[in-house]
Amino acid sequence: MSAVPTSAPTLEDVARVAGVSRATVSRVVNGKRQVAPNIQEVVRRAVLDTGYVPNLAARSLVTRRTGTVAVVVSGAEDAAKGGASTSRTRSSAARSAAYSAHCDHTKSTRS
Protein backbone atom coordinates (compact mmCIF):
# COMPACT_ATOMS: atom_id res chain seq x y z
CA MET A 1 0.00 0.00 0.00
CA SER A 2 1.44 3.41 -0.95
CA ALA A 3 1.64 6.30 1.47
CA VAL A 4 -0.82 9.13 0.88
CA PRO A 5 0.68 12.62 1.30
CA THR A 6 -0.93 14.49 4.19
CA SER A 7 -0.46 17.98 2.74
CA ALA A 8 0.95 19.89 -0.19
CA PRO A 9 4.68 20.71 -0.07
CA THR A 10 5.53 24.11 1.41
CA LEU A 11 8.35 26.61 0.91
CA GLU A 12 9.85 25.19 4.08
CA ASP A 13 9.89 21.69 2.54
CA VAL A 14 11.65 23.02 -0.56
CA ALA A 15 14.15 24.93 1.59
CA ARG A 16 14.95 21.80 3.62
CA VAL A 17 15.52 19.71 0.47
CA ALA A 18 17.60 22.45 -1.19
CA GLY A 19 19.58 23.23 1.97
CA VAL A 20 18.78 26.94 1.80
CA SER A 21 16.58 29.37 3.71
CA ARG A 22 12.86 29.83 3.13
CA ALA A 23 13.63 33.41 2.00
CA THR A 24 16.00 32.13 -0.71
CA VAL A 25 13.34 29.73 -2.00
CA SER A 26 10.82 32.58 -2.04
CA ARG A 27 13.22 34.80 -4.01
CA VAL A 28 13.82 32.09 -6.61
CA VAL A 29 10.14 31.11 -6.93
CA ASN A 30 9.00 34.73 -7.24
CA GLY A 31 12.00 35.88 -9.30
CA LYS A 32 12.34 38.95 -7.08
CA ARG A 33 15.99 39.37 -6.10
CA GLN A 34 19.23 38.22 -7.53
CA VAL A 35 20.22 34.74 -6.37
CA ALA A 36 23.38 33.02 -7.57
CA PRO A 37 22.67 30.84 -10.62
CA ASN A 38 23.94 27.65 -8.94
CA ILE A 39 21.62 28.25 -5.96
CA GLN A 40 18.70 28.95 -8.32
CA GLU A 41 19.31 25.59 -9.98
CA VAL A 42 19.41 23.77 -6.62
CA VAL A 43 16.14 25.42 -5.58
CA ARG A 44 14.43 24.70 -8.91
CA ARG A 45 15.48 21.05 -8.65
CA ALA A 46 14.08 20.92 -5.09
CA VAL A 47 10.81 22.47 -6.33
CA LEU A 48 10.51 19.70 -8.92
CA ASP A 49 11.55 16.97 -6.45
CA THR A 50 9.01 18.05 -3.83
CA GLY A 51 6.22 18.85 -6.28
CA TYR A 52 5.85 22.32 -4.79
CA VAL A 53 3.25 24.52 -6.50
CA PRO A 54 2.80 28.15 -5.38
CA ASN A 55 -0.55 28.83 -3.71
CA LEU A 56 -2.12 31.54 -5.86
CA ALA A 57 -4.76 32.39 -3.25
CA ALA A 58 -2.07 33.02 -0.63
CA ARG A 59 -0.04 35.00 -3.15
CA SER A 60 -3.00 37.25 -3.95
CA LEU A 61 -3.48 37.96 -0.23
CA VAL A 62 0.13 39.12 0.06
CA THR A 63 0.23 41.16 -3.15
CA ARG A 64 -3.40 42.34 -2.99
CA ARG A 65 -3.70 41.43 -6.68
CA THR A 66 -5.74 38.56 -8.05
CA GLY A 67 -4.92 38.86 -11.74
CA THR A 68 -8.64 38.57 -12.46
CA VAL A 69 -11.01 40.81 -14.40
CA ALA A 70 -14.77 40.43 -14.03
CA VAL A 71 -17.15 41.68 -16.71
CA VAL A 72 -20.91 41.68 -16.18
CA VAL A 73 -23.19 42.55 -19.08
CA SER A 74 -26.74 43.45 -18.15
CA GLY A 75 -29.72 42.83 -20.37
CA ALA A 76 -30.63 40.31 -23.04
CA GLU A 77 -30.46 43.04 -25.68
CA ASP A 78 -26.74 43.52 -24.93
CA ALA A 79 -26.09 39.80 -25.40
CA ALA A 80 -28.09 39.84 -28.65
CA LYS A 81 -25.86 42.67 -29.97
CA GLY A 82 -22.75 40.51 -29.92
CA GLY A 83 -22.30 40.04 -26.20
CA ALA A 84 -20.85 36.55 -26.54
CA SER A 85 -18.38 37.66 -29.19
CA THR A 86 -17.43 40.71 -27.12
CA SER A 87 -16.95 38.51 -24.06
CA ARG A 88 -14.62 36.21 -25.99
CA THR A 89 -12.62 39.23 -27.19
CA ARG A 90 -12.33 40.58 -23.65
CA SER A 91 -11.32 37.15 -22.32
CA SER A 92 -8.66 36.83 -25.01
CA ALA A 93 -7.29 40.30 -24.23
CA ALA A 94 -7.20 39.52 -20.51
CA ARG A 95 -5.32 36.24 -21.08
CA SER A 96 -2.74 37.96 -23.28
CA ALA A 97 -2.06 40.36 -20.38
CA ALA A 98 -1.66 37.41 -17.93
CA TYR A 99 -5.09 37.93 -16.35
CA SER A 100 -8.00 35.55 -16.13
CA ALA A 101 -11.38 36.87 -17.15
CA HIS A 102 -14.83 35.94 -15.91
CA CYS A 103 -17.67 37.15 -18.08
CA ASP A 104 -21.32 36.84 -17.15
CA HIS A 105 -24.60 38.01 -18.62
CA THR A 106 -27.56 38.97 -16.48
CA LYS A 107 -31.20 39.40 -17.39
CA SER A 108 -32.45 42.95 -17.49
CA THR A 109 -34.98 43.82 -14.78
CA ARG A 110 -36.21 46.91 -16.65
CA SER A 111 -39.67 46.79 -18.24
Structural domain boundaries, residue 20: 11-63
Domain for residue 6, yes or no? no
Is residue 10 within 8 Å of 52, Cβ to Cβ?
A: yes
Tell me the C-alpha distance between 23 and 25, whole Å. 5
CA 82: distance to chain centroid? 30
* pTM (two decimals): 0.57
Domain for residue 97, yes or no? yes
| Beta carbons within 8 Å of 43's beta carbon, 6+ residues apart | 14, 18, 20, 24, 25, 28, 29, 35
Same domain, 16 and 53: yes
The domain total for the chain is 2
Phi (first) and psi of residue 101, to 5 degrees: -125, 140
- pLDDT score at 43: 97
- Please check the confidence at residue 80 and state whether its pLDDT lies above 80: no
- The vertex-57 CA angle with 54 and 59, nearest 5°, equals 60
The 10s digit of each residue's pLDDT in 4-45 is 557 889 999 999 999 999 999 999 998 887 899 999 999 999
Same domain, 72 and 51: no
- Please check the confidence at residue 76 and state whether its pLDDT lies above 60: no
